[in-house]
A = this chain, B = another copy of it.
Amino acid sequence: MNNEGAGARNARNSGSDRIGRRATMSDVAARVGVSRQLVGLVFRNEAGVGVETRNRILAAARQLGYSPNTAAQSLRGSSTRSIGVIFNPYELTPLDILSRIYEHAATAGYRVLVSTTTETRTEQVAIDELVGYRCEALILIAPKAGFVELRRAIGPTPVVVVGRGMPGSDFDVVRSQGADGMDGMVRHLASLGHRSICYVHCLDVLDSDVRLGGYRRAMAGLGLEQRVIELSGDFTEEAGARAAELLMSGGDLPGAVMCNNDLAASGLSHRLLQFGLHCPRDISITGYDDNRIAGLSYLDLTTVCQDPNEMARAAVEAAVARAAGSAGLPREIFTGARLVIRSSTAAPSV
C-alpha cells in the first residue's frame, strides 16, 4: 500500500494541504508540473529558467502561500548568511544602532537575528540562542561581560563589540570618538563664556571612559577647573536628578553641566526646574547621544550625535568581513561624533 513506485513521492507532496503545514518547493513544483530544482532556481533568482515557466512558478507559489524555509536554507547552504545582534532594548542608543544594522545587513545580503538581554535574560542565554542558529558573526552592543567569558560562550564565531573597548581581545571594536565629542562640547561652552563647567559621569554608559577623558583633556587644555560628579546605576534619568540635588546642596552652582548621556540631562533639567532653575536662562545643560528625547521641543538639548548609522555601518562591515573569513588582527574603529547645538546652552547669566 505504501509502495506505489515513482508516484509515491509526488503523492506525499500533493497531499500537503494538511492543516497548518506550509507549502514547500515540492508542492509548488507539483502544482506547476516541473521539478523542485527548477522552483529553487526561480527563488534563488538564477538564470536558465524560461520566462513563461518562471511566471507560472511564481504564480503557483503565491497561490499556495509558499515562502522559503529559512531553517532548511541555513542548514543546507554553505553559510547561513545571518548576523546575530545582542543588546539591551531599554537603552535608546543601541536601539538606534539596531535599526541601522537591519538596513546595512540587508544591503550586504545578510539576515539579522536579534536576541535581547533583560533583567532576567543573561548575555549567556542570548548568545546561546544565536549560536544555535549558527550566525556567522555576532554584534554585541555594549555588552557587560568580559572577554574571556564572552569568548567561551560564543566559541569560534567572530565578534564585533560596539560602544565599549575590549583590550586584549580578538574582537573587532566600534566606538565613537567620544573624546572629540566632549572636547568639542567644552569648547562650545567656553566660547559662550562659561568657565565653571561641571561633568556628570554616569558609568554604565557606552564609552563612558572615553567621554570623560575628552572632558578632562579639554578642560585641562583651556586651563579650567574640573568638577566631576560620578554616578552609577542603570536608571540614568535618576542619576541626572541626583546630580541636580548634589549641585543644589553644594553651594556654588556651575554655569553649565555636561551630562554624558541625554537621559541624565533630561532628569537633571526636570529636577532643576523643580528647584526653580530654568535652562538655559539660569544654567546650561548638555547631553550626549542625540537620542530621540534630545530633540523634544521642551528640552531641545545641545548634545553630541555619535551617528548610530555610522556605527552600524562599521559594525556590519566588520562582521561581514569576518564572516567571509577575513583574518588579521582585531581592528578598533572610531566613528565620528558631531556637536549638535540646540537651545539648552546659552551664555552664562552672570
The stretch among A64-72, A183-191, A342-350 that forms the contact with chain B is A64-72
A87 to chain B, nearest CB (A): 9
Would you call A69 and B134 a contact (CB within 8 A)? yes
A71 contact from B74, B129, B298, B299, Cβ within 8 A? B74
Would you call A119 and B134 a contact (CB within 8 A)? no
Copies of the chain in the assembly: 2
Query: How many Å lie between the Cα of A65 and that of B151 in the bound state?
Result: 11
Residues of B within 8 A of A113 (CB): 113
Would you call A120 and B95 a contact (CB within 8 A)? no
A24 to chain B, nearest CB (A): 11
7 closest residue pairs by CB, A with B:
A99-B118, A70-B132, A273-B273, A71-B74, A71-B71, A65-B155, A71-B75
* Chain A residues near B (Cβ < 8 Å): 19-20, 22, 65, 67-72, 74-75, 80, 89-90, 92, 95, 98-99, 102-103, 111, 113-116, 118-121, 128-129, 131-134, 155-157, 235, 237-238, 241, 267, 269-271, 273-274, 278, 292-293, 296-299, 325
Known: A71-B71, A114-B115. 17 other contacts (CB 8 A): A65-B156, A70-B129, A70-B132, A70-B134, A71-B72, A71-B80, A71-B134, A75-B75, A90-B95, A102-B118, A102-B120, A102-B121, A114-B116, A235-B296, A237-B293, A238-B297, A273-B273
